[in-house]
Structure 1
């Protein structure tokens, strides 16, 4: 009888436990305003939107009339289109061609400074265009009224451009950032303590192990980022903040006020560093198990036999390499026993071998997850690098601009990648052969893959949980530090140190004065006795 009662009690407890789980506070369909960034950033933002839409949330996406990838009509969202006089695609294309030409010819110091100036000018132009569109939005009373009346629960934005955080401040809404890069570099530098002694600045090309000279250079690179934010990005929005935001604002302060940072990185990929409680790491959230390839592509892959397949793509912004470069790469591929799948939209290389398949588009995730894929030749964009980690495929990196060199450097430091220069076709051939025949590259990438996959909760579920968390609680104020509002001398306790030094100095001087007084008095007393 006691045993039956025990079983019955266990059954009741299990039932009650199931009920409690099922009664976890739900997040009814929320109303989300999204301000994304175009290009490859949109690819991972769209994945978040697909998950949010599947959970019943209503989504409005603000896009530019000149958008490359963000469609006006979608089953996932309702769009609001801002008029923009000029697109950014031409700026990227011109800069990219100049950058590749400089790499090809060997960049001098003068060329480096010119490219840096052109890059900063391009970034400044992008922010100016978006700032102008934001002003048009604020001046459109009907649209602004519609945004206010829609009673959004939060703003989800990518802070690589700033209009999203400005609009969130104007509408007084909680903010969730889908972020790795802000308006001036890595987002960590705005939110978390970032000692330059062991945290490399983006663009420096350093790891977390720096010697003295590298630390000096690291500080110089940091000064460039500060200059970029203060004099090239900030001024684009200063007038808007002063006119439309009560009490004014600046972009960095708005970023620091964000409730949750969904950070597109993790410490399998990135170097260890200080962080904050409202930074949620979702690196690789876009990665999924490979799906079967289309039949014709599967046949091509299988025809490689034991030699396997090499895949090559240089991302969404690079449609074609210069003809001379493409011919040299094609000639290297033609010598190899492997089959090659190459995303290339330019003229067909004259040296193309029978083993190479040229495509306009490739199912990159599915190819990376295919057991026949041996090497991934890539530019080093965040999405591609994280997918390579997920599937454990070594990377031969050809960085071109933005964060690509830094991404590849992290993989190279962990033994899973090799970085080469676009200008040296010999290093390309050598690098391919090295990655194919040295097992350490694949072994290191597979180790990273195991580490990345060994998580209690998947990155995409983490991301959705925290978006819904902010909706349920109308923000996450308790996770935000107030340190950003403290004066710099208070932040570093210089005022406290000054007080303690002053007190110590006063005590020391008082002690010396007392000894001097006692000594002098003793001498006078001695002289008096002698007389």
Structure 2
């Protein structure tokens, strides 16, 4: 897995070199007098471009090179903040905390490997040897975070982090005529949509046949984004499409359920439109995204390895359809998510223009990232003053126990 990610980021490094070595392009960018660079730091090309052009930097971000962005900028106690891939909530058992810290160190090692092998040499070549990529990547003026704490677990944050989770959500538009006709034919039963995201167009034939057979037993109509071989068990109530207007379908009054892989965009659209979810996570953050809905009673998660066992898929769909609590809980999340003074996209636009007006937002950036880890955690103070600190801690313990003394009696 490390090798695959290193190959991907190596390709990004080649793109960075191609951009910065193109003198005509760089001259054009300089001459245009841009106000800022807006980039996703998961792929670090924009980070280099902003520093090279000496422009303010704004992130459209959820992921850094190796982990969720909060871990790069904000205090992140892993005793209650789950790592992506841990499958845990913010209420962890002892064993879950052990797993969490193990994943944390794996990610840390990977971050060091990728940074030092790929991105630090680019820093040395194009920005000079005095630039450290670890500091460079967190030196953005504003972090537009694709997160909403209605969805995510509460955690420490920083003043230059602006939350715009669900920024792409909007009221539904009318459906194309053929889709509207199909949806209306569902009557009072309503309809279900299923999509496994941009990167998954098909499934193994046996799994696709099982899912199609389960859909065929439902009274609801089903719209399924699927480009694979047509399942032999497909029922008359199921429509296969290459593409669908997902937001508009989720906002339709006859929608009953969303069968989803758990990508961030789909999760926020489901929450915005108050549609309960049956989740089939496949990779990366998808299980963790769905888990955040499941613990709030708005989704049910299935494993792709067991989805075709004991009618699990059909049972899960019927449970979410027939148990009112799922829809009620999702409606509550939707009300909380929508109850904001500004829409997420307007909030994002305000802060982008704020950085343009003021040529950055340095007053919101903490200096903590410039400290070495031993200064950040005050380890150097402890090591240097261990005897005095031990005495101070002893006196503090006596004080908290109700034992008082005159300051003149304390030996220096």
Question: Match of 2:345?
Answer: 460
C-alpha displacement of 1:499: 4.5
Question: Match of 2:49?
Answer: 167
Distance 1:150 1:504, change over 3 A: closer
Question: Match of 2:313?
Answer: 428
Residue 437 of structure 1, aligned match among 322, 334, 337: 322
Question: Match of 1:215?
Answer: 97
C-alpha displacement of 1:500: 4.5
Larger deviation, residues 497-506 vs 474-483: 497-506
**Do the aligned partners of 2:87 and 2:288 also contact (CA within 8 Å) in 1?**
yes
- 1:47-106 per-residue CA deviation (whole Å, 9 max, x = no partner) reads xxxxxxxxxxxxxxxxxxxxxxxxxxxxxxxxxxxxxxxxxxxxxxxxxxxxxxxxxxxx
Distance 1:123 1:507, change over 3 A: closer
Question: Match of 1:501?
Answer: 386
Instruction: Tell me: higher relative CO, structure 1 or 2? Use CA pairs within 8 A at least 6 residues apart.
Output: 2
Distance 1:173 1:395, change over 3 A: same
Helix, strand or coil at the partner of 1:375:
strand
Aligned length: 390
Distance 1:507 1:472, change over 3 A: closer
Question: Match of 2:402?
Answer: none
Helix, strand or coil at the partner of 2:137:
helix
Question: Match of 2:408?
Answer: none
Question: Match of 1:179?
Answer: 61
Distance 1:420 1:504, change over 3 A: closer
Larger helix share, 1 or 2? 1
Helix, strand or coil at the partner of 1:208:
coil
TM-score with structure 1 length normalisation?
Answer: 0.72
Q: Which of 1 and 2 has greater Rg?
A: 1
TM-score with structure 2 length normalisation?
Answer: 0.92
C-alpha displacement of 1:506: 8.1
**Do the aligned partners of 1:416 and 1:445 also contact (CA within 8 Å) in 2?**
yes
Question: Match of 2:109?
Answer: 227
Helix, strand or coil at the partner of 1:178:
strand
Helix, strand or coil at the partner of 2:266:
helix
Helix, strand or coil at the partner of 2:6:
helix
Residue 290 of structure 1, aligned match among 172, 175, 183: 172
In structure 1, C-alpha distance between the alignment counterparts of 2:59 and 2:390, rounded to whole Å: 48
In structure 1, C-alpha distance between the alignment counterparts of 2:158 and 2:352, rounded to whole Å: 17
C-alpha displacement of 1:371: 1.4
Residue 146 of structure 2, aligned match among 255, 258, 264: 264
| CA RMSD between the two structures | 1.5
Q: Which runs of no fewer than 5 residues in structure 2 stay unpaired?
A: 394-412
**Do the aligned partners of 2:115 and 2:134 also contact (CA within 8 Å) in 1?**
no
Question: Match of 2:211?
Answer: 329
In structure 1, C-alpha distance between the alignment counterparts of 2:102 and 2:164, rounded to whole Å: 30
Residue 411 of structure 1, aligned match among 293, 305, 313: 293
C-alpha displacement of 1:169: 1.1
C-alpha displacement of 1:247: 3.9
C-alpha displacement of 1:192: 0.1
C-alpha displacement of 1:138: 1.9
Q: Which runs of no fewer than 5 residues in structure 1 stay unpaired?
A: 1-116, 509-531
In structure 2, C-alpha distance between the alignment counterparts of 1:190 and 1:296, rounded to whole Å: 47
Question: Match of 1:526?
Answer: none
C-alpha displacement of 1:233: 4.6
